[in-house]
């Protein structure tokens, strides 16, 4: 549903709710104007301990955990912000993509609050929330080039405006975060995989193993990580039983390969962006994998060498959080975009709905 834009009074205060995977989160932001935002509260409760023994997120456990604590998390966020529900201008909630059970918990709660308090509902695309976070943290407004790297998505997009996204590249198999998690699992590092691999890589030798760099030099800035993950497995099997030094070196070599691939793909996307966006030279990185320090450093060198400015959210806002949901909700609300109470939860919800599936693309590349 599209309404007339919200009133010109500032700030615009929005509560955000996030339950798309294994973080239960609520936050309040104040939008003081274009590119001017303040984070008033940000409460995140992780479920890592509930899922650790399964070495991955179990959807049913995640949904139950959201039910058990979401009301408390929302109350904490409002208290920390010093606001009541009545003082809000709107309520934003992740409606997809994600685990459908978790999405339904957050969406149902948000709908109940909007109905009881007579506030507008904004159903937010989780990927759009990641894409727009830099507006809250640094005041950067579109257009810009976005690298979105998370557990479920690896994409390069042109962010033309709020609600207007053009996909340049995507993964044809595994997402980067998924590749980190699977590498951690095969090396016995547990869950969550990304931080575990990064910790082990710090003291490893990145030159010990000659791992492949899939898609390097290809014209279209697509990604592929399945072959890299398989190469790690083969090296691990050849060395079994693995010593701790072997694991550290495999992790370091894996990270080095990932950084080389991502830098090469981003360099290609930058050239496309220069043709389509003109003088705008902002590279924005978002998503949970954006917290990886080696990747940040590699992209910083690329940006500096190519005359771009790199923008990466603070570590606390790289992973799933409700601050980004609240900000995306505020950006949509001031443009007059709200949603009805029958707004659906969506397990899949691509940002660029006109993008063609990639030939040979896996579940992330083809539909996300």
- Nearest-angstrom CA–CA distance, 271 and 186: 36
- Say if residue 256 is in the same domain as residue 218: yes
Strand partners, 14: 29, 90
Instruction: List CB contacts of 91: < 8 A, sequence separation 6 or more.
Output: 14, 15, 17, 110, 113, 114, 117, 119, 120, 121, 122, 329
The token pair that represents 200 in the structure block = 């082990």
Strand partners, 164: 161
Give the helix/strand (H/E) hosting 185: helix 176-186
- Say if residue 70 is in the same domain as residue 84: yes
- Say if residue 158 is in the same domain as residue 286: yes
The band of 58, judged by pLDDT with boundaries at 50, 70 and 90, is confident
- Say if residue 75 is in the same domain as residue 123: yes
> Domain range spanning residue 48?
12-137+317-349
The token pair that represents 258 in the structure block = 């990932």
Pairing between strand 144-149 and 282-286?
parallel
Whether 337 maps to a domain, the answer reads yes
Total domains in the fold of the chain: 2
- Say if residue 193 is in the same domain as residue 273: yes
- Say if residue 321 is in the same domain as residue 311: no
- Say if residue 196 is in the same domain as residue 322: no
Residue 368 has pLDDT above 60, yes or no: no
What pLDDT is attached to residue 60?
77
> What's the CATH code of the domain at 36?
3.30.420.40
- Say if residue 149 is in the same domain as residue 288: yes
Which whole-number Å values give the CA distances from 131 to 117, 127, 159, 178, 276, in the listed order?
A: 29, 6, 8, 19, 18
Whether 278 maps to a domain, the answer reads yes
What pLDDT is attached to residue 54?
65
Question: Do 154 and 167 form a contact (C-beta atoms < 8 A)?
Answer: no
What pLDDT is attached to residue 1?
44
Whether 149 maps to a domain, the answer reads yes
- Say if residue 94 is in the same domain as residue 147: no
- In tens, the pLDDT along 321-334 reads 999 999 999 999 99
- Per the document, the length of the chain is 368
The token pair that represents 269 in the structure block = 């996307």
- Say if residue 168 is in the same domain as residue 277: yes
As a whole-number percent, the residues of the chain with pLDDT over 90 amount to: 83
Q: Which runs of E-coded beta strand occur in 126-247?
A: 144-149, 154-161, 164-170
Whether 82 maps to a domain, the answer reads yes
Question: Do 138 and 332 form a contact (C-beta atoms < 8 A)?
Answer: no
- In tens, the pLDDT along 232-283 reads 999 999 999 999 999 999 999 999 999 999 999 999 999 999 999 888 899 9
What pLDDT is attached to residue 63?
86
Whether 328 maps to a domain, the answer reads yes
Could you say which of 315, 341, 362 is where a domain stops?
315
- Nearest-angstrom CA–CA distance, 198 and 278: 36
- Nearest-angstrom CA–CA distance, 268 and 216: 10
- Among candidates 226, 225, 300, 233, which has minimal Cα distance to 261? 225
Which whole-number Å values give the CA distances from 344 to 15, 307, 331, in the listed order?
A: 19, 42, 20
Which whole-number Å values give the CA distances from 166 to 143, 144, 356, in the listed order?
A: 11, 11, 11
Whether 341 maps to a domain, the answer reads yes
Quick count: other Cβ atoms within 10 Å of Cβ 8?
8
Residue 2 has pLDDT above 80, yes or no: no
Instruction: List CB contacts of 128: < 8 A, sequence separation 6 or more.
Output: 162, 163, 165, 328, 351
- Say if residue 154 is in the same domain as residue 117: no
- Say if residue 185 is in the same domain as residue 306: yes
Whether 188 maps to a domain, the answer reads yes
Sign of CA dihedral 316, 318, 323, 327: positive
pTM reported for the whole predicted model: 0.91
What pLDDT is attached to residue 55?
66
Could you say which of 315, 339, 357 is where a domain stops?
315
Whether 131 maps to a domain, the answer reads yes
Quick count: other Cβ atoms within 10 Å of Cβ 210?
10
Sign of CA dihedral 288, 103, 125, 157: positive
Residue 202 has what DSSP assignment? T
């Amino acid at each position: 549903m599209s309404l007339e834009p919200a009133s010109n009074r500032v700030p615009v205060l929005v509560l955000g709710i996030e339950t798309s995977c294994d973080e239960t989160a609520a936050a309040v932001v104040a939008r003081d104007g274009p590119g001017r935002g303040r984070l008033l509260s940000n409460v995140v409760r992780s479920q890592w301990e509930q899922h650790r023994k399964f070495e991955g997120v179990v959807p049913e456990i995640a949904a139950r955990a959201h039910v058990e604590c979401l009301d408390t998390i929302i109350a904490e966020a409002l208290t920390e912000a010093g606001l009541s529900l009545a003082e809000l201008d709107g309520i934003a909630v992740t409606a997809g993509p994600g685990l459908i059970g978790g999405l339904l918990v957050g969406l149902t709660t948000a709908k109940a609050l909007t109905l009881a308090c007579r506030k507008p509902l904004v159903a937010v695309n989780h990927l759009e929330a990641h894409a727009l976070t830099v507006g809250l943290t640094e005041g950067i407004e579109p257009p810009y080039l976005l690298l979105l790297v998370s557990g479920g998505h690896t994409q390069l997009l042109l962010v033309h405006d709020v609600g207007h996204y053009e996909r340049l590249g995507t993964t044809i198999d595994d997402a980067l975060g998924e590749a980190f998690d699977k590498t951690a699992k095969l090396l016995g590092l547990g869950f969550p995989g990304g931080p575990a691999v990064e910790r082990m890589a710090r003291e490893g030798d990145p030159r010990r193993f000659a791992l492949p760099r899939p898609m390097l030099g290809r014209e279209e800035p697509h990604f592929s990580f399945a072959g890299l993950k398989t190469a790690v497995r083969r090296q691990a099997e050849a060395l079994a039983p693995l010593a701790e030094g072997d694991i550290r070196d495999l992790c370091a070599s894996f990270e080095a390969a990932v950084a080389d691939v991502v830098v090469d793909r981003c360099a290609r996307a930058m050239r496309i962006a220069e043709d389509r966006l003109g003088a705008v030279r902002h590279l924005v990185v978002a998503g949970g994998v954006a917290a990886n320090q080696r990747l940040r450093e590699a992209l910083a060198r690329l940006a500096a060498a190519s005359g771009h400015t790199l923008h990466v959210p603070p570590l606390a806002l790289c992973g799933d959080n409700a601050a980004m949901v609240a900000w995306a909700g505020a950006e949509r609300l001031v443009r007059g975009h709200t949603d009805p109470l029958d707004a659906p939860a969506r397990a899949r919800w691509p940002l660029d709905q006109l993008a063609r599936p990639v030939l040979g693309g896996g579940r992330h590349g083809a539909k996300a």
